Structure 1
Amino acid sequence: MKLDWIKVRSLLTPERVGLVDPLKKIEWTYKEINARAENLAHYLKQQGVVKGDRVALYAPNDLSYFDVLLASIKLGAIFIPLNWRLKPIEIKRVIEDAEPKLILHSSQISERLSFVDASLLSLDVDSEAYNEICESPNHVEFQSESLELDTPVMLIYTTGTTGDPKGAIITHNGMVNNSMNTIMSWNITHDDVTIASAPMFHIAGLSGIIIPLLLIGGKVIIDRFFDGAHTNELIKQYKPTMLFMVPTMYYGLISTEKFSKNNLESVHTFVAGGSPPLKEVVNYFVKENIPLINSYGLTEAGPNNFKLTGDIALQHPFSIGYPSFFVEAKIVDENDKEVEQGQVGELLIAGQHTFDGYWNNPEETKKAFLGAYVRTGDLAKKDENGLFYIVDRKKEMIITGGENVFPSEVEKVLNDDPCVKNAVVVGYEHPRYGQSVGAALIYDGDRSNITALEQHAYNNLAGYKTPKQYLFLDAFPVNSVGKIDKREISRLLNELSFVEINH
């Protein structure tokens, strides 16, 4: 089966503009997008890339995401968008697990690839050489591979509970079904325009609105690095009709001095996802009578699983809504029995849009499923109207500004410091990021000077994973069964005056 959807789109609407890069002041029609992807596919094939090989990209939001993804689809290769916010050692672990044939990279941020085998660094996507390959005037049509729907199209890496990276396998079937569900649930048409501000190395940033919009023939404005003031200017200039951002980005948007409600007049659909709703953001949208849809998903499922109408979003601003088209959702107790309405349990999701397991990791794959259902690790409840709400994390993952942090990974780094006798890492409330990372320590050192500890954390963890507050204790609080009381630690951290550690 030919799954090369960009070629079909280029035939249906060849002269319609699909992508715009404000930084480069260039726009591309669907005919040109397809031609770029075919030119790059020829190049990758010459480099030895064949069906089933992995092709990685390390870049901020950029045209190259579309070039490499669409070229990979033509080749039957598997696209890996790398998280450029990770530290060199973290990126090295991902590369060792995925074993890509080559890595295309942005020279602007390539210093974090220092631990990666230099022979894998194929092409600088910021270079003139890359542009000449993709824009070659001697375009030759590429004969796309025939693929099955269950063929992997992407590997999106997450960090497991052990701190080891896990590559979630997204199949063509999963990608297309998520897009179809999204198009129907959010009433997306070819007249819609969005600004791609969320990081495209995340499933939500790439598949939340962007891929569905391109499938149907809409327009995507590329926002290389999100900045509240700059993105406000893009909204004024390009007048998007749909926006997807994580809550902390909406916070940055509405809190900048350049913000005006009038900037948002063109937008008919606002979608927030990637982390729990922020009260300040919700309160603003409710006050202004603007519906804000809480999108719920995860790398392993979706990312879009629920739908909300505008009226319901305003009346129930913290709900994630009803299950979307062709999505099954249920809430189960610790014995995997479905709970009654109003009771809290783990949310499970099933459908053709879910992932196909973890790359070369059958043990973790088995844990991720209950039959056809994906275990989300989130605690949820359903009200009398059938609306779903996320209550808490079943797992102890911290979501800070849309980024996932596993406490065990941070604890392991902190405990390597000789002065740290024991560390417990938890999330605490933050007005902008939803949660921040905090650490309670049994510390045998100078508590008034922890510069070395902070530097140790920063050297071994991505900035968003490093603790922003430290709580020094002589003993950890325990609960009634003698276990460390992490809720009490979180409460104590919330009581501390907030001092941002600017990493």
Structure 2
Amino acid sequence: MRWELDWLENRARLSPNKNAVILEDNNMKWTYRELNNRSTSVAGWLKNHGVKKGDRVALLSPNDISYFDLLFACGKIGAIFVPLNWRLSVHELHEILLDCTPVLLGVHQKFENMFTSLETAIPHSFYIGGVEYERIVNQSYNHIFFDHISELDPLAMIYTGGTTGKPKGVVLSHQSIQWNAINTILSWNLTEEEITINYMPMFHTGGLNALSLPILMIGGTVVLGDQYTGQKVVHSIQQYNCTIILLVPTMYHLLIQTEEFWKSDFPTMKIFLSGAAPCPLQVYEAFQKKGLAFKEGYGLTEAGPNNFFIDHTDTQVKRGSVGKPMLFNAVRLVKDNGQEAKVNEVGELLIKGKHSFSHYWNNEMATLETKKEGWIHTGDLAKKDEEGFHYIVGRKKDMIITGGENVYPLEIEHWIAAHPGVDEVAVIGLPDEKWGELVTAFIVPKHSYAIEEEELIVYCEKKLGRYKIPKKFIQLEELPKTHVGKIDKKKLKEFSKQT
């Protein structure tokens, strides 16, 4: 393996005794030397079990040290690491296994019951989290021949959420993952002093690539979180002296409602990051009241997922902005006619850089549709202001065309979410003979708040043009979420058909 690709081994040489990974649930710790030794042992074990360059090795596990064991082990021998979304149904997991055809599947003991229904899709498996696995990670292998590995060889394959169709396997090369980490470190000014706690699922790019790998590359410490609660995250941030954290908006929504959040000063925290979906403005306001640095970013499995930088001092005057493109990537905003969007015009966001994905597994057509001349067509709509700060407007597929007017749900959601009686909101377009699409808002009222539709209409009239005001309000006890905490608008559309 080329020495520059095995950066964990180099980091272990530079910071051998520094804590690299800690488990929140039992406080187990591993230094960089120990982390590299574990992955080297697993690499030898995989080779002895016939795993060759290009073979897929899958993992079904909650957040655990085994993610790093297997990712770095696959990196050493040229195999492809495939983390599986354990929140999917057995049928969905079965379909993914048939698609990626792994030669080995690691299963955490917590998911032993689930695995019994998957055995027909995978010929060989091993268990994570027990005595036998500890024997594997502590075994020494001498004179193991490792194949030559290029930076363009695949390292990992992460399956997309699949809320708009069948999940696609996003193939990430060594170059993709390494340059996302380098770009993040330099653009975000990360240092070896960083400590983060990661509650994002590690089968998702936000859990694996957004902060975990960049912080490990620079020599910081990653605490792997267990079950998330607003109260727990405050306690763990203080216990581990965290400096930076990435959460999704739904997590922040829960966090700012806790007494612990309002009582803590978070003395070690440099910045709170939000990702995966646009963040409600009331979260910004909560952090502003506390005097805490807060900002949001933008990314996707196919690119990074880190693409923009904004200094936290700019977030109050540029509220809702994800900032400017990072140091080593380029961004374009393109209108439907193919022309570049001008200042404050909306266009599809295109991204280019060495951090971009290679291709979709077994799906050449989808690859050609998404990646054109090196540019990733994200399907997200954005605009930029006079100073070059970018704002995500919403998904291209979510844009509502009502009465010939383009309506962007995010603008409406931000305003309705600021209503004192609204806990959560999602806006979608539903088919309508007269309007083409009907602007429809799904509302979760705050506890004990009786909110009437007429009140919401009057409230919307204060800020929104008439064609943007929802013509239908549907109240729910909760909004459906995807496995990474995004509001699942596909399920909302399905629900509306049943009502």
Partner of 1:163: 165
Aligned equivalents of 1:230 and 1:164: distance in 2? 35
Aligned equivalents of 1:145 and 1:278: distance in 2? 48
Matched position secondary structure for 1:346 = strand
Amino acid in structure 2 at the alignment position of 1:132: R
Partner of 2:91: 89
Structure 1 residue 478 corresponds to structure 2 residue 433 = yes
Q: 1:142 to 1:321 in 2, by over 3 A?
A: farther
Aligned with residue 248 of structure 1, among 242, 247, 250: 250
Aligned with residue 383 of structure 1, among 362, 382, 385: 385
Structure 1 residue 498 corresponds to structure 2 residue 476 = yes
Q: Which deviations, in whole Å up to 9, do the C-alpha atoms of 1:74-123 show, x marking residues without a partner?
A: 11101111111111111111111111111101121343445423554511
Amino acid in structure 2 at the alignment position of 1:477: D
Matches for 1:181-220 after TM superposition, within 5 Å: 181-220=183-222
Residues 429 and 440 of structure 2 are in contact (CA less than 8 Å); yes or no, is this contact kept in structure 1?
Answer: no
Amino acid in structure 2 at the alignment position of 1:209: L
Matched position secondary structure for 2:439 = helix
Amino acid in structure 1 at the alignment position of 2:433: V
Residues 427 and 441 of structure 2 are in contact (CA less than 8 Å); yes or no, is this contact kept in structure 1?
Answer: no
Amino acid in structure 2 at the alignment position of 1:338: E
Give structure 2 stretches of 5+ with no counterpart.
401-408, 443-468, 482-499
Q: 1:223 to 1:161 in 2, by over 3 A?
A: closer
Structure 1 residue 321 corresponds to structure 2 residue 276 = no
Matches for 1:401-420 after TM superposition, within 5 Å: none
Could you tell me how far 1:279 is from its partner in structure 2?
2.5
Matched position secondary structure for 1:320 = strand
Could you tell me how far 1:209 is from its partner in structure 2?
0.9
Structure 1 residue 53 corresponds to structure 2 residue 55 = yes
Matches for 1:357-436 after TM superposition, within 5 Å: 357-396=359-398
Partner of 1:300: 302
Could you tell me how far 1:479 is from its partner in structure 2?
4.7
Could you tell me how far 1:139 is from its partner in structure 2?
6.1
Q: Which deviations, in whole Å up to 9, do the C-alpha atoms of 1:351-408 show, x marking residues without a partner?
A: 111111101111000000232210010111011111000112102499xxxxxxxxxx
Aligned with residue 238 of structure 2, among 231, 236, 239: 236
Aligned equivalents of 2:399 and 2:39: distance in 1? 37
Residues 296 and 305 of structure 1 are in contact (CA less than 8 Å); yes or no, is this contact kept in structure 2?
Answer: yes
Aligned equivalents of 1:106 and 1:51: distance in 2? 24
User: What is the aligned-residue identity percentage?
Assistant: 37
Q: 1:439 to 1:177 in 2, by over 3 A?
A: same
Matches for 1:329-368 after TM superposition, within 5 Å: 329-368=331-370
Structure 1 residue 222 corresponds to structure 2 residue 224 = yes
Residues 351 and 377 of structure 2 are in contact (CA less than 8 Å); yes or no, is this contact kept in structure 1?
Answer: yes
Amino acid in structure 1 at the alignment position of 2:318: H
TM-score when normalising by structure 2: 0.81
> What RMSD, in angstroms, separates the aligned Cα atoms of the two structures?
2.7
Q: 1:86 to 1:40 in 2, by over 3 A?
A: same
Residues 246 and 274 of structure 1 are in contact (CA less than 8 Å); yes or no, is this contact kept in structure 2?
Answer: yes
Could you tell me how far 1:69 is from its partner in structure 2?
0.5
Aligned with residue 288 of structure 2, among 280, 286, 289: 286
Q: Which deviations, in whole Å up to 9, do the C-alpha atoms of 1:117-139 show, x marking residues without a partner?
A: 35545111122211221134x46
Give structure 1 stretches of 5+ with no counterpart.
399-425, 441-475
Matches for 1:257-268 after TM superposition, within 5 Å: 257-262=259-264, 264-268=266-270
Could you tell me how far 1:192 is from its partner in structure 2?
0.9
Residues 292 and 314 of structure 1 are in contact (CA less than 8 Å); yes or no, is this contact kept in structure 2?
Answer: no
- Larger mean CA deviation between 36-45 and 319-328 belongs to 36-45
Q: Which deviations, in whole Å up to 9, do the C-alpha atoms of 1:214-260 show, x marking residues without a partner?
A: 01111111102222222222111101011111111122222234334
Aligned equivalents of 1:121 and 1:259: distance in 2? 46
Residues 281 and 320 of structure 2 are in contact (CA less than 8 Å); yes or no, is this contact kept in structure 1?
Answer: no
Aligned equivalents of 1:312 and 1:48: distance in 2? 53
- Larger mean CA deviation between 47-56 and 118-127 belongs to 118-127
Aligned equivalents of 2:226 and 2:161: distance in 1? 24
Aligned equivalents of 1:296 and 1:366: distance in 2? 23
Residues 234 and 264 of structure 2 are in contact (CA less than 8 Å); yes or no, is this contact kept in structure 1?
Answer: no
Could you tell me how far 1:141 is from its partner in structure 2?
7.5
Amino acid in structure 2 at the alignment position of 1:391: V
- Larger mean CA deviation between 220-229 and 232-241 belongs to 220-229
Partner of 2:275: 273
Could you tell me how far 1:333 is from its partner in structure 2?
0.7
Aligned equivalents of 1:493 and 1:103: distance in 2? 50
